[in-house]
Amino acid sequence: QAQLVEAGGGLVQPGGSLRLSCSASGSIFSPNTMGWYRQAPGKQRELVATINSSRMTYYADSVKGRITISRDNAKNTVSLEMNSLKPEDTAVYYCWMLMVAKVYWGQGTQVTVSS
């Protein structure tokens, strides 16, 4: 079993930046893939970015060039650096991990982009 805890959400103005972080604890096995999903009000949860143990990354088209995902394998953490934020980036952001064919979710952290 693994537990994921996010941190770093908040309110930011359009064009601003925000960094989210997620720490995984419990029984963590490698290889695994970690990432972030988000869910805006009234919309389905969508994939934002993923990174595997070899640091291969994937980004949704909507965030390419504005968001960078990174991880620290030794600390079992994953981070999301978000720049040039737009109001449409407003959502609850969920940390996600795929490990040994099982999916784990964090509790979510709110990101609000508004002036």
* CA atoms within a 13 Å half-sphere pointing along the CA-CB vector of 1: 1
Peptide bond connecting 14 to the previous residue in cis, omega within 30 degrees of 0 = no
pLDDT at position 62: 95
DSSP characters over 46-91: EEEEEEETT--EEE-TTTTTTEEEEEETTTTEEEEEE-S--GGG-E
The rounded Cα 59 to chain-centroid distance in angstroms is 11
Query: Predicted confidence band at 65 (pLDDT cuts at 50, 70, 90)?
Result: very high
Q: Among residues of the chain, what percentage have pLDDT more than 70?
A: 100
Work out the average pLDDT over 40-60: 96
Tokens 């982009």 belong to residue: 113
Alpha-carbon distance 76 to 112, whole Å? 26
